[in-house]
Amino acid sequence: MYSLRESFKGLFRPQAVVSSSSSPTTIMSPSHSMSSLAVRAHEMLDSILGAQETSSTTVADNQARDLCHFYCNLIPEDKAVFLKTLAHDYGVDHNIILQIAQNLSMAQERGEGVLLKTEERLKHALVPKYNLVFTQIGHLNDGVKFLVDMRADILHLLNTTCHSTDQDNPYLKSLINHLRDLIAIWFSVGFMTLERVTWESACDVLQKISEYEAVHPIRNWTDLKRRVGPYRRCYVFTHHSMPREPVVVLHTALTDEISNSIQSIVSHPGLEQESSVNGARKEDPNSVNTAIFYSITSTQKGLQGIELGNYLIKRVVQELQSEFSQIQQFASLSPIPGFREWLLLEMNRYLHAEAAGEYPEQKLFTGRELQEIADNVGDTRDKSTIETIMKLIKTNNWAQSEFLPDLLKEPLMRLCARYLYVEKRRGFAFNPVANFHLRNGAVMWRLNWLADTTTRGLSASCGMMINYCYFLEKTEENSKVYMEKHHIEASPQILELVKANVGIETKSHL
């Protein structure tokens, strides 16, 4: 991903930052004290706010441009000082808010006209001063990109200080929330442009597609060409304020069945029924009846928490339906990040409970499974067998064994179904990918064994992947039931696997 400085290369005038008094000032370096940096930040922020009230838009734009230049040239530690200064000193005036709030009851007695004016004053007082700065920066070319990257900086700062007693954290959280609300308006789906990326697309766009791919890394240009070639579709959302910059990327495979392995998609050119013209592969539309969404990536960390991926899927469904009217099935082939970590934690908890003389009602492995594994690894004690399984899973060595994949398939599939279907956070699916698709109205359809045998796949989910199916006539209903009642619509395969875990009750409307 491009850095803040790179994203603004060529935007600013090649001169020192100019203060509100027009005296030349050098860019802050690590040798400047924290207090002098904060003072300089105050000067620049005040000049923007002052220019908005008294000067032309050109002056205000120049002041905003200088501020961006100033910020982009700060080292990370100084950026943190700048952001804390912005959050703490350019928020709202709490005394004014309290005073106006106290006047509301008296204003009501004086009639609706006075009440409405008082409410307007309160609304104005609740707008932080930094919102005015953000709005001014948003007027610049690449200004929106700057704010998105700044929000990524704030997220990083909060993540590094989340366990500290830093008194600035509440102010930073308020800052990032206000910036999120502003960016969410600018990145409303109505302002997004849907584009298809092909091998004929601009080289820099293809390069970004390759660099941004976070789910299944693209190895080389041949791999990239396959992913945007026949029987493949790559769609992106772009924004007019960030030209040639993919904001969300969705990779789709066109197939004749719901795929059960990522290897069949990223390592295979596509359907076998293709024809060729002058040696070039050509799609046979009649052989396509299924669209598989196998990778969706949000490329901008600063857009975290802003819903765009679900809208991209909906738009792509419409595009594919117009291109292939015969497509009947829409499904994902999704990773299961976090399953292996969760499993190892559960196994460790089980061992500690057993050592303390406690025996959980819901066991992880049956006695038969432990005995079969022990017989094959030369260990007959339950506790030692579980420890051995933990070691094998941690190192991924089991995947290279001739017999362990078959022995582990039943228990790991069962436990993965429990992780996906049963484990919850605030009533919703604990797994973030599951929660994303279920919120969109998909059905938890099929768990696939050894669907991703790469090191990444084994380390994330012991090689398993899952299909979420989108039955278009039911997505709205499924989404509503999930959001309101926390009910997960699942297929018989998933429910049978869940039932195999002792003490779990399931039901489905399928």
Told to judge if 334 belongs to the known catalytic residues of this protein, a careful annotator would answer yes
Q: Where are the alpha helices (DSSP H) in 378-454?
A: 382-395, 404-421, 432-439
Catalytic residue, from 259, 295, 334, 479: name it.
Answer: 334
The encoded tokens of residue 486 equal 């926390």
Contact 158, 108 (CB under 8 A): no
From 396, 408, 398, select the one nearest 364 (Cα to Cα): 408
From 82, 74, 122, select the one nearest 101 (Cα to Cα): 122
- At CA 73, angle to CA 174 and CA 298, rounded to 5? 55
From 344, 426, 433, 428, select the one nearest 387 (Cα to Cα): 344
Residue by residue, what is the 3-state secondary structure of 139-176?
Answer: CCCCHHHHHHHHHHHHHHHHHHHCCCCCCCHHHHHHHH
DSSP notation for 278-300? TTEEE--GGG--EEEEEEEEE--
- Round to whole Å and give the CA distance between 417 and 435: 14
Contact 314, 235 (CB under 8 A): no
The encoded tokens of residue 17 equal 């930052």
| The residue to which tokens 């302002």 are assigned | 191
| The residue to which tokens 């609300």 are assigned | 181
Catalytic residue, from 437, 479, 508, 509: name it.
Answer: 437
Contact 447, 493 (CB under 8 A): yes
Contact 195, 279 (CB under 8 A): no
265 burial level (CB within 10 Å; 0-12, 13-18, 19+): buried
Told to judge if 295 belongs to the known catalytic residues of this protein, a careful annotator would answer no
- Round to whole Å and give the CA distance between 373 and 412: 13
- Round to whole Å and give the CA distance between 445 and 438: 11
Q: Treating both helix axes as pointing N-terminal to C-terminal, what angle do 94-109 and 112-125 enclose, rounded to 10 degrees?
A: 170
From 82, 130, 81, 121, select the one nearest 101 (Cα to Cα): 121
- Round to whole Å and give the CA distance between 500 and 373: 19
Q: Which residues are catalytic?
A: 334, 437
